[in-house]
Amino acid sequence: MNIIILSIALFLGMTTSEHPKLILNITNIESVKGNLVVGVFNTEENFLENGSAIKTYTYKVDKTSKQIVISDLPKGEYAISLFHDENSDAECNRNFLGIPKEGYGFSNNVKPKFSAPTYNDCKFTLSQDTTLTIKMLN
């Protein structure tokens, strides 16, 4: 019986180390309504294109800052893109120039100037528990 318990504990320990926690501290959320939609990318190919994120998470906005814990990503290199879906239509609404009308943000707090950021601008390595702070751009 003790061997079974020890085996389970060792397995759970291995699983945790293979999937470190990614803690996102999101700040500067403009309004307390709608959802935050977080996209996780692991390649520059199709970076920021709809439907190309390897994982997408949606969280209800209940404060002007939010902590999100993601624990199902294996160790690796990633980039985060997120937007505040204030009107809950599951889209990042944009103006006629393609600039988001709803708040948005990227890992490494990249602030786009004349074009969308690249995967390389936003990438980070997840090899252990990691905390990132992302300030929403409005």
Determine the Cα–Cα distance for residues 88 and 30; give it in Å rounded to an integer. Answer: 15
Looking at the domain that runs over 2-135, which CATH code has it been given?
2.60.40
Write down the pLDDT at residue 122.
98
Task: Delimit the domains of the chain by residue range.
Answer: 2-135
Residue 59, helix vs strand vs coil: strand
Q: Which residues pair with 55 in a beta bridge?
A: 40
Contact between residue 31 and residue 138 where contact means Cβ atoms under 8 Å apart = no
Q: Quote the Cα angle for 132-107-118, to 5°.
A: 160
pLDDT number for residue 14: 47
Give the pLDDT of residue 6: 43
| Below-50 pLDDT ranges, the chain | 6-7, 9-10, 14-16
